[in-house]
Structure 1
């Protein structure tokens, strides 16, 4: 029996084909249309329908490259199931390198959205109705924000067996049990019945090769775990370290920050992580770990104020 075509927007994708579609969002003052770019890889054989998206925040470039590389490696003639790829969700923000939309709304606090709401709400609604509603699994790709960089990590509901199984298949260095944020794509998609993994890695508006490589391999491993593709030819990956508790160490003074720990490094409670110095080099304050665990995020800002988050440590 021939597999039916896949419908999205105004197009139909036949089994064994790849097609791109531009879903209308809005029109600029110049008269140019702004569309949501989507590519569908519709396998010849039956299987799950999965989406992968990036750049819900317009300054997050790592995920866009992850999607590009994943698509380049897929063959619809041998793939089972269907992959919907949305490399840039926040198109307007991405064009200017801005995390938010022109109205300063955070798109990842605007789901599930509304067809008649704000611009952010309309984009969220379009994403939910045309992409998420058609899928059973989703991978949402992100990077650090506000001059922070993140160790490759999966954030998900680790208490849900199916979600944890896919998080383990992704095999990022750390998988973090993360609470649901109201208005996020993950929250809305879960409410709609989808299993969602959120990938965090690298720094905003950077093409961090190590974060891209870990993301590409992780997505490919999930597709293989779902039976959509063959397993990667690689040595067995190191199992993810699971964490159910994490916190940021905050600066207790203001100054130039010199950190002495790297992403992925294991630290002990009370260990010195770095120091704060004034402009003449006089040490103002030391920074110490407040829990034992692995460093999963750190600020890259050269100057911090009292109370700023500087090192993210997850208990494992």
Structure 2
């Protein structure tokens, strides 16, 4: 009797100047620049190259240097994966804006926003060069991407997926992620999501929590969401059923900020995830002696998906972000 022939082993995964063998995990440093002190700055990447074939997916965090929550999401999610069991390849980049991350700054030293610099250029500004490196070595080698973000400074966001919900494939993966809210969001010029889409990838953007802070609930939602997407892609086995969510994910196509109509010290009366009605009182502004100077009312019905954490506000400041469900 003849012995059955084994299938050809999966090819290694090339990134930078190294190759990662199938069934193995490797950490790679992609050179970015050199500091004035002579030290090198590199983009840290972990490649989990599964033994069995499957999709190639990237997950990244800290495109803005103060968005530390996504770094913890990636740490926990990657810790559950084995290259010997994974079907496909996962490219994990916990910190994209390395220089901003080291100083706790949202932007790069040249004050550019990295998420407005994609797809970048090999000979452009520092932000442009980092964007080009990330696109060349990561995005263009992947079919699906998950971009992890938090709210900007002195704001907090409800865990949510922002994506093109009109694209069936994108919506399918957004629903698989399982965040409390899916917000249909237009592509922004220079963003990683836009550049990834133009490169042919399906991209989800996860927004949750606050800058420079670990918050357990959005971290947990993020870790479970990443794993659900990998399961939906067939890269890992389906997850065992967990506790039922408080409510099914809600889809929304529009949102807007309620802004301050005066200046004062803010006292909010609503929290993230709460349902509000048009005209409902959301809080009020007081002077330094506690005298109420103005009330804050909702200008639409919907769900609170973001809010300011700053107590002192000026006229025109964004206070409460309300999304209108479909």
TM over 0.5: yes
Distance of 1:109 and 1:279 partners within structure 2: 39
Report the equivalent of 1:233: 240
Report the equivalent of 1:106: 113
Quick one: which of 285, 293, 296 aligns to 1:276? Answer: 285
Distance of 1:239 and 1:229 partners within structure 2: 23
Distance of 2:85 and 2:157 partners within structure 1: 34
Report the equivalent of 1:312: 321
Q: How many residues align?
A: 316
Matched, 1:131 2:138: yes
Query: Do 1:168 and 1:239's aligned partners in 2 also have CA atoms closer than 8 Å?
Result: no
- Matched ranges for 1:38-77 at <5 A: 38-77=45-84
Distance of 2:266 and 2:46 partners within structure 1: 43
Q: Shift of the alpha carbon at 1:234?
A: 2.5
Q: Shift of the alpha carbon at 1:233?
A: 1.6
- RMSD over aligned CA atoms reads 0.7
Unaligned runs of 5+ in 1: none
Distance of 2:204 and 2:82 partners within structure 1: 23
TM-score by length of 1: 0.99
- Matched ranges for 1:1-316 at <5 A: 1-235=8-242, 237=245, 238-316=247-325
Distance of 2:283 and 2:13 partners within structure 1: 54
Q: Shift of the alpha carbon at 1:131?
A: 0.0
Q: Shift of the alpha carbon at 1:146?
A: 2.6
Distance of 2:147 and 2:23 partners within structure 1: 25
Deviations 1:217-245 (A, max 9, x none): 00000000000001222335543100001
TM-score by length of 2: 0.96
| Structure ID, larger Rg | 2
Distance of 1:201 and 1:39 partners within structure 2: 23
Q: Shift of the alpha carbon at 1:209?
A: 1.0
Distance of 1:229 and 1:268 partners within structure 2: 41
Could you say what secondary structure the match of 1:244 adopts?
strand
Could you say what secondary structure the match of 1:154 adopts?
strand
Distance of 2:127 and 2:160 partners within structure 1: 27
Unaligned runs of 5+ in 2: 1-7
Could you say what secondary structure the match of 1:162 adopts?
helix
